[in-house]
Amino acid sequence: MGDQRFVSTRPDVLSYQTPVLTRPLVLRGAPVADLFIRTTGTDADFVVKIIDVYPPSVAEQPDMGGYQLPLSLDIFRGRYRHDFTHPSPIPAGEVQEYRFRLPTINDTLLPGHRLMVQVQSTLFPLYDRNPQSYVANIFFATPGAYHRATMTIERGRSAVLLPVAAADGQK
């Protein structure tokens, strides 16, 4: 998966980023998404991305100016929030917790870069579309099963826990 600039300004994507880094930021380990979300549907997907945002201009590589490099990302299907072997519908309108681990990162973000976290509800076409309504098997969802849904993230309760390590041996 490449440059994420095409996603970061979409109205259905939450993008959070740090100020410009003044010293290296070392990420080493597996981030954990702990999201508290309410949806109007009865199924949903949740995607979390950890992104290295390059400075607006990079003298030695001009094409990398502003590049948004995904370091780790994963998708979680809401129907499996309690058990991966026994999916269940999401209760519409009720806040539910979705806690999942993202792939391991071993990277250093350089001074001048920013760290971005994105949360969205689809990774189509890389991952199949979710109809936003619970069906026994998503691969056999009929056109009538697809509905628009609104997701609301509880910002005060939700977090993405990052595996920050010290670049210079200090904590």
**In the chain, domain spans:** 5-139
pTM greater than 0.85 (yes/no): yes
Q: Using an 8 Å Cβ cutoff, are 98 and 35 in contact?
A: yes
Nearest Cα to Cα of residue 78 among 16, 140, 33, 23? 33
pLDDT digits 0-9 by tens, 86-118: 999 999 999 999 999 999 999 999 999 999 999
pLDDT digits 0-9 by tens, 45-80: 999 999 999 998 888 888 888 999 999 999 999 999
Nearest Cα to Cα of residue 165 among 22, 42, 28? 28
Nearest Cα to Cα of residue 16 among 49, 58, 65? 49
Nearest Cα to Cα of residue 48 among 127, 169, 160, 158? 160
Q: Using an 8 Å Cβ cutoff, are 66 and 76 in contact?
A: no
CATH of domain 5-139: 2.60.120.260
